Each structure stands twice: as C-alpha cells, then as structure tokens.
Amino acid sequence: MLEEEIAMSEKLVALGRITAGVAHEVNNPLAGLLNCIDTLRKHPNNKELIDRYLPVIDQGLHRIKEIVHNLLVGLKNEESDETVAIEHIDKLHDLIIAEIGDRDINVIWKNNTDKDRHIPGKVEQIVCNLLKNAVEILPDGGTVTFCMYQDGPHLIIEVRDNGPGIPSSIRNQLFDPFFTTKPNGTGLGLWVVYRQVQSMQGIIEVNSEKGQGTTFLVAVPVNVMKAA
C-alpha cells in the first residue's frame, strides 16, 4: 500500500510539473497573440500592421499547436498496438530534406532492417523527433546520420550529428518536459522520445562532447517488429 501511495505521489508531482509547463509555454505566445489581435482591431485598414502581425499570429498559433500535439503524443496510451510498415521510416528522409530546405546540411541514411516487417508507430515518432532535433541544432555545413538495424534481440536506432555537442552540465535535463536550449524550441521532442522508448521497455543513451557532435542511441526489443 505504501509503495502504491509513493508511486501515485510521484505521478501527481510529474503531472503538476507538466501542467505548470503547459500553462507557461501556452500563455507566453497567447499574450503576444492577443496584443497583435488587439492592435489589428484598432487599425483594421493599416496594411503595414497587417503584414507585420499576421505572420506573428500564424507562427504563434503553430507553436501552440505543436505543444499540444507533442503533449498528446507523449501522454498517448502506452499500450497502443498501432503499427506501420518499415517503409514509413524511409519516408521520413524526404520529410527531413524538406524541413532542411535551402540550408547546407547533409543527410546520410542507412536503414538496414527487413523491409517486410512492421514496427510500432512509436518508433516512427522516435526517429522523427531525433532527426528534427539534430537538424535544428546543426549549423550550415553540418551532417546528420541515421542508422537503423537489428542487433541480436534489439532493434537499434542511431542518430548522429557533428554539431556543437551538449554541455555535460545540462545533459541530465535533456529529457525533462519543456527543457530546451533552442530559441524557438518547445522542450517536448526529446521528452516524447524518452516516454516512447520507456513504453517499449527500451533504453536510450546520449553520447556527446561539446564541439564534437552528439549521438542518440535507442535500443528496443526486436519483438516490437512484426511480420507484414
């Protein structure tokens, strides 16, 4: 009984942190959006103000949408048995290339898994978030490498970049909800990754040195892969 009470107490503390984080992260853009709308309401025919504030409103709304989406993914039923074909992972390559746009970033892609297998949709979310995290932090001229393969009883996902690296002083906070060092980051992408890995009884490791790049290594039981 005591162990159950402790577990419940820990869950309530975690929920309180997430709730406070949501309030903070959503209220920040909302305050700015309301100011923009109020200004446009006072000057409905001012084209200069319209051109200035509409993109700000659009960006703010998309930020709120991303926060809500990541929270829903992170809090999604951990027993979900939704699966996707392995080829869905390879489609993420085109998605990341589109996100890079005109930036000078090289992507190396190595998917050595059985193409006739299906994997949990959570694996697709893990890969997507790790790739986006790497691309967002890389300067022009950088390289991100994606590898996925089977190693004995585990499915291995590896995402490497040659970016600025992660200072050891903040490494323990990487998977905390709402922790971010990016100016426009939500701090939820890696939190989602961590929760999804945990839900599959997997492990995630981070190897990084400041100025030497970062490697995220995920290992989940190979039995998450199913025949098509």
So where are the chain's domains?
2-74, 83-227
State pLDDT tens for residues 86-108.
Answer: 888 888 898 888 888 889 999 99
User: Which pLDDT score, from 0 to 100, does residue 115 have?
Assistant: 78
CATH architecture of the region 83-227: 2-Layer Sandwich (3.30)
**How much is the average pLDDT of 67-77?**
63
Least confident of 89-93, 103-107, 146-150, 171-175: 171-175
Domain 2-74 has CATH 1.10.287: yes
Residue 76 has pLDDT above 80, yes or no: no
User: Which pLDDT score, from 0 to 100, does residue 142 have?
Assistant: 94
Higher pLDDT, 18 or 169: 169
* Residue-wise DSSP of the chain: -HHHHHHHHHHHHHHHHHHHHHHHHHHHHHHHHHHHHHHHHH-TT-HHHHHHHHHHHHHHHHHHHHHHHHHHHHTS-TT---EEETHHHHHHHHHHHHHHTTS--EEEEEE-S-TTEEEEHHHHHHHHHHHHHHHHHPPTT-EEEEEEEEETTEEEEEEEE-SS---GGGGGGTTSTT---STT--S-HHHHHHHHHHHTT-EEEEEEETTTEEEEEEEEEGGG-EE-
Residues of the chain with pLDDT > 70, as a percent, come to: 75
Higher pLDDT, 147 or 22: 147
State pLDDT tens for residues 217-227.
Answer: 999 987 766 65
Least confident of 81-85, 164-168, 185-189: 185-189
pTM score of the predicted model? 0.69
